Structure 1
Amino acid sequence: MMNILVLGAGALGAYFGGRMLEAGVNVSFFVRDRRAAQLTKEGLTITSPEGNFECKDVTVYTSTDQVNDIDLVILAVKGYHLDQVIPQVHAIVRKTGAFVLPLLNGMEHLELLQTEVGEQKILGGFASIIATLNEQGHVVHSNNSSAIKFGALHNEQIQICEQLEKIHHLVKTSLLREENILKHMWKKYIFITALSGITSAMQLPAGFIASSEASFHVARNVIFEMNTLAKEVGIHLSEQEVEIMANRLRGFRPEATSSMHQDMRKGLPLEVEHLHGGALRLASKYNLNIPVIETLYGILKPYENGKPN
């Protein structure tokens, strides 16, 4: 069985790494000193509708010198930490020959990682989950499902994708291999840009999208604007696919919300630059006007580094 290193143990990394640990997969975590101390003291605990899990003895690394025999690095950091961890990813890949599955939001990270680490080493993928860490650093998973979708972007990645696919039936989550992973990544990017933008701008949970026609209209327009960007880079979605995404915005439980809105509530940094900022940079490249996204970006930008003083 392959050896997996989860780089970053926030809610996302700890959840999916924990689910693989639970299934008997050889999983270790690469984290900063503070999180390492917390995991060593508290262990890894998941509270979830998919089943609770606790592991007191977690393998944790804080230096690339400690890392050996890794087949796959699951990169589970926020977009604003990417620049900081690229040297570590590069060192681990150079040392072990591992492939990298980034689970970051947006699309710009792909090209950056391919340039810095090697095109043949970077898989396509993303995660779907609503989860947060409590004060003890335990994962609180609040929706009824979770998934990682992944796929090869280079022929050399087919074997590692097949190995990861084999784990799917063992874990209490979904590990889904997709042939056209770029299209699936774009669908996630389109949807999360709308959901995170409107919930954070409203500073209200996702249930208010359905109860306010004006707010729903804003979020729906974000989906349409993002779809025009997708077309420019060769990702073609049907009208039905776009409408399904727009209507999904009405389907959340009243208290459910986006991870960006959760971060805003906690006064934490926001991924506005990697979602809305990335869309604006792409729009500029193709001379497109995306006024709704531009407006949300302007509203959210002051919160980029946490609650403004």
Structure 2
Amino acid sequence: MKILVVGAGAVGGYFGARLAQTGRDVTFLVRPARAAQLQRDGLQILSPHGNLTFKPQTITAQEIHETYDLVLLSVKSLAIDRAIADMKPAIGPETMIYPVLNGMRHLDTLSRVFGERAVLGGVCMVSTDIDEQGRIVQLHETQKLVYGERSGEITPRIKALDEAISNAGFDTELSPGIMQAMWQKWVFIATLGLVTCLLNGSIGEINTAPGGEATALQCLDECVAIADASGFPIPQPFLDQIKPYYTAKVSKLTSSMFRDMQRGASVEAEAILGDLLKHGQSHQLKTPLLQAGCVRMRVYQNSRSAS
């Protein structure tokens, strides 16, 4: 299977490198400057599962002259329009587009351009960042890709995808309920982003402050209520699994959105929090903490634009 990874950043770079390391046919779609840097320094990964440095196969948008079987789309939501324009020549009638972006609204964006059938559902579970030297650093041992047809069908093509990317040094799961899985991840990351950005600290710092834990759990309740109202109720076992992440007294855990804000970078606030708020409003739900978090991040984004 010919795989095109769109974006060689913290997520796409990590999973693409693992796939390439195990002999898959992987090409990275990157900008010319990034292509030159990767050929000079290599793609470097620091991971509890083993470090890796290699020179990947890269291509720029202008160099695409054939289509691919699978496109792993791993850019941030803020870059999706440009990514779509760059990857268009790589999409054929049988190409599967496997997006691992945060939130849900990218599914509609991609389907409008490429058609419903082309776009799979996907969940990525990994915590990675890029350090000052441009290396991809894995912050936690979890590393998993989940994928499936949005209809829930187990089709020949999704079986082929499963076979192509399984046993590549990370966990994989072919899911007949990928939309539910996407909602569950959305609730998890939205709550973490809301708690850490609104309260301006790590989970441990928040929970050692009076009222911190109660506020964190109220954030979770609001996000869960939106999922429930939208037809994707969050199962109790999943809630039992994620609650400790928000209530730990000794924890340095933060969200990627919080880390981006600390660096003064753009944040995915609208895709993660803003779109969730819209879903809640469509069901007439009152979610004051989520609304406050959205306003907080919009003020931040506006301040970046003004500076």
Output the TM-score relative to the length of structure 1: 0.90
SS class of match (1:219): helix
**Distance (Å, rounded) in 1 between the aligned partners of 2:302 and 2:83:** 18
Tell whether the 8 Å contact from 1:46 to 1:138 is kept in structure 2 after alignment.
yes
SS class of match (1:287): coil
1:29 equivalent in structure 2: 28
> Is 1:144 matched with 2:164?
no
**Distance (Å, rounded) in 1 between the aligned partners of 2:39 and 2:268:** 28
**Distance (Å, rounded) in 1 between the aligned partners of 2:204 and 2:141:** 16
**Of 213-222 and 23-32, the range deviating more from structure 2:** 213-222
**Distance (Å, rounded) in 1 between the aligned partners of 2:212 and 2:82:** 36
> Is 1:117 matched with 2:125?
no
**Distance (Å, rounded) in 2 between the aligned partners of 1:209 and 1:25:** 43
Structure 2 spans left out of the alignment, 5+ residues: none
Tell whether the 8 Å contact from 1:198 to 1:215 is kept in structure 2 after alignment.
no
**Distance (Å, rounded) in 2 between the aligned partners of 1:150 and 1:286:** 28
1:188 equivalent in structure 2: 185
Residue 140 (structure 1) shift: 0.7
Give the aligned CA root-mean-square deviation in angstroms: 2.3
**Distance (Å, rounded) in 2 between the aligned partners of 1:252 and 1:60:** 44
Residue 67 (structure 1) shift: 4.6
**Of 17-26 and 204-213, the range deviating more from structure 2:** 204-213
2:267 equivalent in structure 1: 270
**Distance (Å, rounded) in 1 between the aligned partners of 2:230 and 2:251:** 35
1:52 equivalent in structure 2: 51
> Is 1:6 matched with 2:9?
no
1:40 equivalent in structure 2: 39
Tell whether the 8 Å contact from 2:67 to 2:89 is kept in structure 1 after alignment.
no
The amino acid across from 1:33 in the alignment is: P
Counterpart selection for 1:211 from 208, 224, 233: 208
What are the equivalent positions in structure 2 for 1:66-81 lying under 5 Å apart? 66-81=64-79
Residue 50 (structure 1) shift: 1.2
SS class of match (1:161): helix
The amino acid across from 1:61 in the alignment is: I
Counterpart selection for 2:174 from 172, 177, 201: 177
1:158 equivalent in structure 2: 155
1:280 equivalent in structure 2: 277
SS class of match (1:249): helix
Identity %: 29
